[in-house]
Chains A and B, each alone.
Chain A
Amino acid sequence: MKPINRMKTEFLSKSVNESFARVVAASFAAQADPSIDILADIRTAVSEAVTNAIIHGYPDKEGIVVMECILYPDYIEIIIEDFGKGIEDIEKAKLPLYTSRPDLERSGMGFTVMETFMDSLEVESEQGKGTKIRMTKKLVNR
């Protein structure tokens, strides 16, 4: 299916950019006039994916996070990519309540939230090269 619109942005892995990313993604999705609930789900899932990139992709240094949003007639695809540490075991990372950063009081619910709030979730990761999260969400009109 041919996209009807597309945007791409990149930002430093600073935690203050979590709110920037979720607001930008939801604003972009809003042009399809989805319900407020759908926009809220997108904001939450993007926040989780970007936080993951910041905390786990770049635990010891700053790096670049790229966010791409592709709008199709009835759904949106959102890709969040970092070029940092990578995930050693994706299946383990996706387990509810699993966290590699208990020091940050992380709940380990990030991937569970993304999977639940979006319609699809794919994770690609290579150690030392980074992680790419691809999510889609149907945009049913109000």
Chain B
Amino acid sequence: MDISFSRDGNTLVVSIKGEIDHHTAAMVRERIDARFLMEPVKNMVIDMSGVNFMDSAGIGLIMGRMNRVSSVGGKLSIKSPKPQIKKLLKLSKIESIVEM
């Protein structure tokens, strides 16, 4: 699992590489939340082009980050999910509340 961060204006760009499941989600959550607190940003983009597996733990992770970003008046976007992950996002109806 590899997580890297960059900043684009007031947006934190989070790039995740690896697999998101219950085992890895807690670590991903902690690292993203810590960085979001440190940076002077209010929006977040999660680049999922490097995520080759995700189960419903990833849905919980995204919903939790959406709540966090919304609490400071920001927006969360999901970038480049692979088809299987898109299927999961569609099922969870996340795609109707998060910008893709």
CB-defined contacts of A116 to chain B, threshold 8 Å: 91
Task: Check A44 against B60 for contact (C-beta < 8 Å).
Answer: no
> Which B residues are CB-close (under 8 A) to A54?
22
Which B residues are CB-close (under 8 A) to A15? 21-23
Q: Which label, helix, strand, loop or mixed, suits the secondary structure of the A interface?
A: helix
A19 to B1, CA, bound (A): 13
One of B6-14, B35-43, B49-57, B69-77 at the interface: B49-57
- Residues on A with C-beta less than 8 A from B61 are 105
Question: Considering residues B55, B57, B59, B84, which has the most beta carbons from chain A within 10 angstroms of its beta carbon?
Answer: B55
Cβ contacts under 8 Å, B19 to chain A: 19
Which bracket fits the contact residues of B? 20 to 34
Set A16, A51, A104: member contacting B55, Cβ < 8 A: A51
Q: Tell me if B23 and A48 are in contact (CB < 8 A).
A: no
Q: Is there an interface contact between A55 and B22, defined as CB atoms closer than 8 Å?
A: yes
The answer on a CB contact under 8 Å between B88 and A113 is yes
Query: Is A37's CB within 8 Å of the partner chain B?
Result: yes
A48 to B21, CA, bound (A): 9
User: Which residues from chain B sit less than 8 Å from chain A, CB to CB?
Assistant: 19, 21-23, 25-26, 29, 53, 55-57, 59-61, 63-64, 83-84, 88, 91-92
25 of the cross-chain contacts (CB-CB < 8 Å) are A15-B21, A18-B23, A19-B53, A22-B53, A40-B84, A43-B53, A44-B53, A44-B55, A44-B84, A47-B21, A48-B56, A51-B21, A51-B56, A104-B22, A104-B26, A106-B56, A106-B57, A107-B56, A107-B57, A107-B59, A109-B56, A109-B91, A110-B56, A113-B88, A113-B91
